[in-house]
Every structure is written in C-alpha cells, then in structure tokens.
Amino acid sequence: MNSLSGVMIMVLAALPALAAEDTPLQQSRTVATSLMQQLGAELKQAISANGAEAAIKVCKNIAPDLASKLSIERGWRVTRVSLKTRNPLLGTPDAWEQQRLEEFDAHAANGAALDTMEFSESVTEPGGRYFRYMKALPVQPLCLACHGGEEQIPASVKATLSRQYPHDRATGYVVGQVRGAISVKRPLP
C-alpha cells in the first residue's frame, strides 16, 4: 500500500465521525451551548458592572433576544422553559417539555450530574414531525441573588422582581437543582 492509499483510508475512516458531528442532536447541543454561554457572559458582565438587579434586565430582555436570534437563524424554536416560571408568556413549557423537566428534577434529586443532563427524541405532533432536545439549566451560585430563597434575594431585587414579574414563581432554588432548560424544537422532513 502506498502512502496515498493510506491517507485515503484515514480520510474515509474519519467520515463517519465527521457526519456524527452534523446530527440533529449535535446541532441542537451546539445551539443550546451557544445560548447558555452568551447568556452566562451577559449575566456576569451585568452583575459585575451594576449588581444583582442588572441580571433582571438581562434575563427579561437580552435572553429572549438571544433565543429569538438563534430561532430565526436556524428556523427552529429555541427557548428557555421552567416548571417555576418567572415570565409565563415566554417560559411555560409545553406538555413534552414539562415531562422532561419533571424527569430532570427526579434525576437531579437522585444525584445525577446536571452539567450533562439532556434529552432528545424525534416526535410526531399534530403540526408534523420534530426533533426535540432539552438541556438542563442547573442553579449556580450566581443565580441565587434572583432565584434563591427569601433570605438570599436582596430587598432591591425583590422589589424589582415584584414590579417586573407580578406572577413570579421562580424563587426558592438552591445550588444543584434544575432551574429549567434550554429547549430546541426543529422540524423534520
């Protein structure tokens, strides 16, 4: 065998690995990770510059804009959902998402690793066939100033949350719980 055929064999052997990176699962992971990283950077910057109250504006305005931008770019629905919503118009899970969130909570209660917690499947719904993906959003120490227990949320943050979100249910969390999830819904042919 000459060196050229050895190179061709190596390239052909790598093709399945390259194709695996382009699966709906991998693409959905990439989009969810992108949203998580962008949102995390925005939150850290806002809190560092202006305190915990600034995080409210990021989650209220910037997070939905980031998700909307990804949705438009991809032609998918990309969003954040939770069983304990802060903004019911944007964060209420559909039936499929609610079931996954309940499963995530059960797994977390049994000690499952939150950083790798995800679920995906292809489903048929009345509107067509979809690839559905969810990635858990674990509660981090940074989250507690807005999502923690009564004693952890500063008075100024409580007042702003009360004004901005009169139906807020997204408090009382502790580090290590599932706060919600990034949800990706994409049409299948």
- What distance in Å separates the CA atoms of residue 35 and residue 182, rounded to the nearest whole number? 8
Average per-residue pLDDT for the chain? 90
Q: How confident is the model over 1-23, as pLDDT tens digits?
A: 444 444 334 333 444 444 456 89
Retrieve residue 7's tokens. 């190179």
Among candidates 10, 32, 12, which has minimal Cα distance to 77?
A: 32
Query: pLDDT (tens digit, 9 = 90+) per residue, 32-76?
Result: 999 999 999 999 999 999 999 999 999 999 999 999 999 999 999
Residue 144 tokens read as 């507690």
User: CA 10 to CA 39: how far, in whole Å?
Assistant: 39
Q: Tokens standing for 111? A: 């000690």
Whether residue 56 contacts residue 145, with contact meaning beta carbons closer than 8 Å, is answered with no
Per DSSP, the three-state class of 79 is strand
What is residue 142's DSSP assignment?
Answer: G
* Cα maximum dimension of the chain: 74
CA atoms within 13 A on the CB side of 102: 7
